[in-house]
Structure 1
Amino acid sequence: MRKLGLAMIGAAVMGGLVAGCASSPWPKSRSQIVQTAPTCEDFAVQIYFESQSAKLTSEARQVLKEADALTTGCKVESVKVLGLADAVGAPDANLTLSKQRADVVTRALGKLGHGKVVFDVAAAGDAGATTRGGEARPLRRRADIQFDLDGKLR
């Protein structure tokens, strides 16, 4: 009984797969593939860091790769990188940490092919990391990156 049930399920699955091939969503030739042109519009991304760290996480590296892909076919006019820190620790240490975060992002972008781009690099430290009520903002452990694009490559 068990073998018969599995055989029937297998046949049903295979029948569904074969039937699905008749109406495949995949193009039959390369000419049917539509490629969209790059939009070449300015955009921004944020890279988050662990507490008291300027090391890129795997998620941060992925965000940078995806941002790089958005610039493909576009002229990158400039990239603004702002390193930030939360309010944990001494203000001088937070300013140093935010500079390190901005620098590590700039180096990573250079390795992705943006070495000749004009970078505007700044660090804010923990300035603005607490609310007026004295509440710390932990999501300030990041770097804000603004890509300024100037049209498509010629």
Structure 2
Amino acid sequence: MKIIIAVTAIGLGLGLTGCESTGLFNSRDQIVAAPASCAPQRFEIYFAEGQAQLTDAAKQAISMTAAQVQGCNIRSVQVLGLADAQGTADANLSLSERRARTTAEALVKAGLPIPAFSVAAVGDLGATTSEGLREPLRRRTEVVIDAVSR
């Protein structure tokens, strides 16, 4: 039994050393390409139920995207606020407006140009299916940045 374990360990060790660079790809940069920075960007910012404050993850996503498009020609920034079907339609519209405004303000603070912005909110419109089921993950804003090279 000890011999089988020792032989297996030696074989595994030799097999793993064979995984080291064999000439096809010598570095991570050869197989992982960074996305084009001056290209359209789309991402979503999620919120806690009934909230319009940005989470740490949302702030990080905004910061990273703003850094990525820095130096690009920003033709437009569209921010659309959404809400789930909890509460009244008026309350959900107000909440989705606050979410859109909070996201847009953070994008401006991160360096995106104010004139490029289009901010809208739809409240809970579309938050339920035709069968009356609630759509999951509606507590968010959708952000689309049209960025091109200068």
Q: Provide the TM-score with structure 2 as the length reference.
A: 0.74
- Note the C-alpha offset of 1:111: 0.6
Identity of aligned residues (%): 43
| Paired residue total | 122
- In terms of fraction of residues, the more helix-rich structure is 1
1:29-52 deviations in Å (ceiling 9; x for gaps): xxxxxxx79541112100000000
Establish whether residue 40 from structure 1 lines up as the match of residue 46 from structure 2: no
Measured in 2, the distance between the counterparts of 1:39 and 1:47 equals 20
Contact conserved, 1:38 with 1:74, CA < 8 A, in 2?
Answer: no
Report the residue type matching 1:95 in the other structure. L
**Which residue matches 2:15?**
none
**Which residue matches 2:71?**
73
Measured in 1, the distance between the counterparts of 2:117 and 2:44 equals 16
Measured in 2, the distance between the counterparts of 1:106 and 1:73 equals 19
Specify every segment of 5 or more residues in structure 1 that has no aligned partner in the other structure, as ranges. Answer: 1-24, 26-35
Give the alignment's Cα RMSD to 1 decimal.
2.4
Establish whether residue 60 from structure 1 lines up as the match of residue 58 from structure 2: yes
- In terms of fraction of residues, the more strand-rich structure is 1
Specify every segment of 5 or more residues in structure 2 that has no aligned partner in the other structure, as ranges. Answer: 1-26, 28-33
Contact conserved, 1:42 with 1:147, CA < 8 A, in 2?
Answer: yes
- Note the C-alpha offset of 1:66: 1.5
Match of 1:89 among 66, 75, 87: 87
